[in-house]
Amino acid sequence: MPFLTHTWSRSHVETLMAIATTLGDLTQSVELATRIPAYLSDMLDLGPLTLAVVRSTEGLDDASAELVLHAGSGPVATGESARAFAPRLVEICRQTRPLAAVSQPTMRPGLASDSGFSEIGVTGVGAYPRALVFARTLDEQHRLVLLVHQRGDEGALSTQTTDALLMVAGQLAKLLKCLFVFHTGPQALGEPFERLTEREWVVLRGLNSDDGEKQLADRLSLSPHTLHSHIKSIYRKVGVQGRLPLLLRLQNALRDLRSATVNMQPARSTGMLDLALAGHEHPAAIAVG
């Protein structure tokens, strides 16, 4: 991405700080995350926004690709068009992958990198025939798209707004990666959870609920004896005795993962809050992306 120069106003910095804090709160669960588009639309004075996360264990080109998060700040389509919009989001995820992530030769122009955005046409959504797409890869199984829907006669967004959305997309990618860690496996949490088998990981996820062991056994289609054997193995591998210490260890690991992921600063990139504060202190050449 090119270097951009800004003189950030105090009010803009305060807005970015509020967004950074609230995104952290709204990515604690999938249910809370559905409020993000409406919040961003209000804070940045935008029209309809759509937020989606697509998951596929075999890659986006696989037919199993599915939406695991889909929320909007307002209706952009009705009737049959609305029903066709969800599959269209999966296709937008495919279209906006960086070229290096596309396995087959392609002639598609204007692909979004994982640090920029693309303008695309979106058919079948009535008054909003085009959108700005901010797409990011979360991990090997998940990809995020944030769409800012635009009317046909609507002018371009200001540089300040697009820069804010670039930072929002980067921050969301980190936060949502942590939210969906339960779908990707225990290896993301490192020691000692990475020692768990796939089945033990499923059981651990079940233990992180209000279910008793009998309810959990029924839900996982396991005999009580088999479930108990899995639980004993989990305790031994994690190094705890009892469900409460296990869940405390799990919550600490998730918190550490979230902190490490959000605070990670790749080369030529910085966190949304740090970027805002740096720009507020003095006009600077800032690398976005």
Q: What architecture does CATH give domain 192-257?
A: Orthogonal Bundle (1.10)
Among positive and negative, which fits the CA dihedral 288, 95, 39, 30?
A: negative
Tell me the H-state helices in the chain. Answer: 10-26, 30-33, 36-43, 79-95, 159-179, 181-184, 198-207, 213-219, 224-238, 243-263, 272-281
Residue-range domain boundaries for the chain: 8-183, 192-257
Span 223-248, average pLDDT: 95
Lowest-confidence region among 12-21, 53-62, 126-135: 53-62
Residue 143, strand partner residues: 54, 137
The rounded distance, in Å, linking the Cα atoms of 158 and 52 is 24
pLDDT at 40: 96
The rounded distance, in Å, linking the Cα atoms of 105 and 144 is 23
Q: What architecture does CATH give domain 8-183?
A: 2-Layer Sandwich (3.30)
DSSP 61-119: TSTT-EEEEEEESS-S--HHHHHHHHHHHHHHHHHTS-GGG--S-----S---TTS-EE
CA distances to 161, 193, 219, 250, 252 from 189, in Å: 35, 6, 25, 9, 10
The rounded distance, in Å, linking the Cα atoms of 210 and 176 is 23
pLDDT-derived band at 289, boundaries 50, 70, 90: very low
pLDDT in tens, 168-194: 999 999 999 988 888 778 888 889 999
CA distances to 53, 147, 176, 184 from 141, in Å: 10, 20, 12, 7
Between residues 267 and 173, the one the model is more confident about: 173
Query: Taking the CB of residue 187, how many other CB atoms lie within 10 A of it?
Result: 12
- Please check whether the two domains, 8-183 and 192-257, share a CATH topology: no
| Average pLDDT of the chain to the nearest whole number | 80
pLDDT at 236: 96
Query: What angle is formed at CA 109 by the lines to CA 41 and CA 46, rounded to 5 degrees?
Result: 10
Choose among 87, 127, 93: nearest CA to 111. 93
Choose among 53, 257, 255: nearest CA to 137. 53
pLDDT at 11: 82
pLDDT in tens, 34-73: 999 999 999 999 989 999 999 887 766 667 788 899 999 9
**Cβ atoms of residues 148 and 36 within 8 Å:** no
Q: Do the bridges between strand 3-6 and strand 284-287 make them parallel or antiparallel, or are there none, so unpaired?
A: antiparallel
pLDDT-derived band at 209, boundaries 50, 70, 90: confident
